[in-house]
Structure formats: C-alpha cells, structure tokens
Amino acid sequence: MGDNSDTTTAPSPAKIAAQEDALLKQFFAEVSEVERDNEVNRILSCFKLNPFDYLNLSFDSSIDEVKRQYRKLSLLVHPDKCKHPQAKEAFGALAKAQQLLLDPQERDYILNQVNAAKEELRAKWKKQLKKDTASKLKSLVTEGKFDQEHEQSEEFQHKLKLKVKEILTDQEWRRRKMAMRISEEEGRLKKDEEETKELWKRKREHEEQWEGTREKRVSSWRDFMKGGKKVKKGEIRPPKLKTEDPNKSYVQRPVKRG
C-alpha cells in the first residue's frame, strides 16, 4: 500500500514575514495621499488616554495584533512617505500608543478600566431586561448567547468606548489632583526644611560671635575686679559716708557746719 500521508509542510516564519512584506508594499502602492492625510487626521483626533483608539483596535486585541497594526499604520503616516504637515506628530502618537500597550503594567491598567466600563454597562443592560419581558425571556432561553450578541453589537461597542473615555478621564483627573497635592506638600516640607536650616545657621553664627568675644569679655571683667570701676574724666564722685559707730549698721550723713 502506498503512503497517503500529507507531506505538505507549513510555511516557515521567514516565508510568512516575506509574504506580509509583499502585501504591505502592494497596499502602500495603492494608497493615495488623500488616504494618508485622512489617517493622520484620524490619529490626531483620537482620545489621548486610549492607545487602542490610536491604533484603531478593539479592546480585546492581542499583543501580536498591536504590533502588526502599528507597523501598518506607522508606515502609512511615516513623515518620509506622508506629506501631511502633522505626519510626524501622528507617527509619534502611534509609537507611544504601541509602547503603552506593550508595557504589561500600562496595558493592565487600561484593561482594568475597560472591564470596569463593561461591568457598568452590563448592570444597566440587566435593568433594561427586567423591564423588557420579551428580551429577558430570550436571554434565558439562549443561555447567555443573547447577551453575548448584544456586547458584540456596534451599539454596545460604541457605548463601551464612550464609557471607557469617561472612566479614563475621571482617573486622569484624580491622578493630576493627587500629583498637585503631593507637589504642594513637598513644597511645604521643603520650605519648612529651608526655614529650619536658616534658623540653625543664625544660631551657629550667634554662638560663634559670642565665643569670639569671650576673651574680650573675660579681660574686661578681670580689669574691673582688679581696679574697680574707673572714674571717667569730669565725673564727680560722691563723698564717703561716715558712721557714728562702726558697730552699728546705720550710716550718719556728714553734718554741714556753718
């Protein structure tokens, strides 16, 4: 018996890449300047906090899809190929969008906001089903397929995009307020630190000045103790007082004799 097994081998990754390159070249050969300009305008009109929007991808796109889409769009609006005056700006926006989506932490943050938006829309959808008996029965009969179809609809995707925009905007506003408060607190702490340093500086200068005059103060005190207080020129000293009895504590003033 002959061997009927399939001997066809799968194309190698290099061959697949070459085929994709050929398709891209053919695609760009057919692209007009108008289409390039339109893509630049689309990118520049995107919501800045949503990298999926820049790449024109759905929220459930994979990493490989992100890379392929970036390559396609970046070549489309590359400043060397596109004559639009803001092509460079659009090209940079695409690069930043890809960077965010390839960063695990940034990607998780965005997807968490997407999931929060979905949950909110699903809650509203369930409330609507309670009011619409026919839709509720259909949802129960189809075992969730009706709900899945609803979430895949253009209407739901449009609402999801708007809700994600709302949540991301709210989160960014909170982040900026927190950053402002942190900056103000850091400024206050820095000011307090500078005032404390200035206070200690003045204290040290005072101590140094006090220590610098120590010898002079000690010498003045020694001179005073040795010679007593010196009479300044022109100063009249009071007469000495006499005592009637040296054993008594009182002092009798001198009697003026006529």
What pLDDT does residue 95 have? 96
Type of residue numbered 83: K
What number of H helices and E strands is found in the chain?
10, 0
Where does 17-147 sit in CATH, by number?
1.10.287.110
Find tokens 């022109």 and name the residue.
Answer: 234
How do the pLDDT tens digits run along the chain, 258 residues long? 445 545 557 778 777 777 777 776 776 666 788 889 999 999 999 999 999 999 999 999 999 999 999 999 999 999 998 999 999 999 999 999 999 999 999 999 999 999 999 999 989 888 887 776 655 555 554 556 767 787 888 888 999 999 999 999 999 999 888 888 888 888 888 888 888 888 888 888 887 787 777 777 777 767 666 665 555 555 555 555 555 555 555 555 555 565
Write out the E strands in 87-127.
none
Rounded CA separation 160/153 (Å):
11
Q: Answer whether 39's CB lies under 8 Å from 83's CB.
A: no
Q: Answer whether 23's CB lies under 8 Å from 75's CB.
A: no
Domain residue extents for the chain: 17-147
Q: Answer whether 52's CB lies under 8 Å from 61's CB.
A: yes
What pLDDT does residue 1 have? 45
What pLDDT does residue 186 have? 81
What pLDDT does residue 104 have? 95
What pLDDT does residue 247 have? 58
DSSP element (H, E) containing 1:
none
Q: Answer whether 177's CB lies under 8 Å from 54's CB.
A: no
Q: Answer whether 51's CB lies under 8 Å from 114's CB.
A: no
Cβ contacts of 90 within 8 Å, gap of 6 or more: 39, 40, 43, 44, 77, 82, 84
